[in-house]
Amino acid sequence: MKYSIKKYSENDYSVWNDFVAQAKNATFLFHRDFMEYHKDRFDDFSLLVFEDEKLYAILPANKKDNSVYSHQGLTYGGLVYKEQTKLKTIIEIFRDLLFFLNENNFDKLCLKTLPSIYHLKPAEEILYSLFLAEAKLVRRDSLSVIDLQQNNIISKIRKRGLKKAISNELIIKEDNQFELFWDKILIPNLEKTHNATPVHSIDEINTLKSLFPENIHQFNIYQKDEIIGGTTIFETESVAHCQYISKDPNKEDLGSLDYLFHYLIHDRFSKKRFFDFGISNENQGKNLNEGLTYWKESFGAGTIVHDFYEIDTANYTKLEDILI
């Protein structure tokens, strides 16, 4: 092995976070404070890759049985590295990672990627390495994304909704508290529609807001003093991502979300590169919510894919003798 690999420990907290801050393919979700808000749910197996004393890459991860996963508590993941790291180096690092896992009796690495819109610079070296290692694509989600640097066509139905909202004198507020949206809108809707609960409890989202006040935002929309909808935004350097979207099902004809997202797209986050509505998939990407996708596309969104792979750790041998 050319590179030495070690499991993350609390002593690596500052080194890890400093590296995330300098990487070309990382967001605040990879900061240890974000990763560890739910550390009781996962057996952390995050890895750091060194050559001599120099840190070249990190892998946010957890272990389960005889497999290592891109951290299952994060929306996205993958190998994280800096701008100056070359393709040859990533191939070698990935080979040594697979060898390390194989030597430690892990059979598989389950790797979720970081969608390209979150890259600060082109960073698909890991995709080429996955191809060389004969990784198997096991899931593909579709993100509905607006490129905010382009002109985007908005459907007539969204424009009509915007006019309704204005005539109904709806009000948008950015709120530092999440309880009203969670209790009045999000939790009842998820329970009724999907028999589910939010990924984040109210205590967890408030904690994350306190840790990352510049990255997590709550926008609510009101008719007079009554909340009728809202969205929770996770903001990164290049992307505004909708973590939650919900509205009062009894207030369907007010144009609330048309008004809210027109404001977010054309005003509040207009200087971002991308606006990410998130996925409309179920069943590991194999089913698509047609109506939800259409709604997002009617704002001008197109599709970016988010891929998930499985790799046999024994395939480290396929990354040998690649370079000519």
Tokens 């404070």: give the residue.
33
Domains 4-139+307-319 and 150-272 share a fold: yes
Instruction: Identify the pLDDT of residue 253.
Output: 84
Q: Token pair of 311, please?
A: 């790799």
Burial 259-283 (b: 16+ CB within 10 A, else e): bbbbbbbeebbeebbbbbbbbbbee
Cα–Cα distance for residue pair 102/66, rounded to 1 Å: 10
Helix axes 256-263, 156-167, angle to 10 degrees: 100
Ordered DSSP codes for 89-150: HHHHHHHHHHHHHHHTT--EEEEEPPPGGG-SS---HHHHHHHHTTPEEEEEEEEEEEETTS
For residue 279, which of 115, 141, 74 has the smallest C-alpha distance?
Answer: 141
Q: Where are the domains of the chain?
A: 4-139+307-319, 150-272
Query: What is the phi/psi pair of residue 164, to 5°?
Result: -60, -45
One-letter amino acid of 198: P
Residues in the chain: 324
User: b/e for 209-220, b at 16 or more Cβ within 10 A?
Assistant: beebeebbbbbb
| Cα 94 to Cα 86, 112, 156, 227, distances in angstroms | 12, 14, 48, 49
- Which two three-digit tokens encode residue 225? 């003093």
- The pLDDT of residue 145 is 98
**150-272: which CATH number, 3.90.320.10, 3.30.70.100, 3.30.70.260, 3.40.630.30?**
3.40.630.30
Q: Give the tokens for residue 209.
A: 């807001």
CB atoms within 10 A of CB 32: 19
- The residue ranges of the chain whose pLDDT is under 70 are none
Q: Is the CATH number of domain 4-139+307-319 3.40.50.720?
A: no
Query: Cα(106)–Cα(99) distance, rounded to whole angstroms?
Result: 10
Q: What pLDDT is stored for residue 251 in this prediction?
A: 85
Global pTM? 0.95
Cα 50 to the center of its chain, rounded Å: 26
219 φ, ψ (degrees, to nearest 5): -120, 125
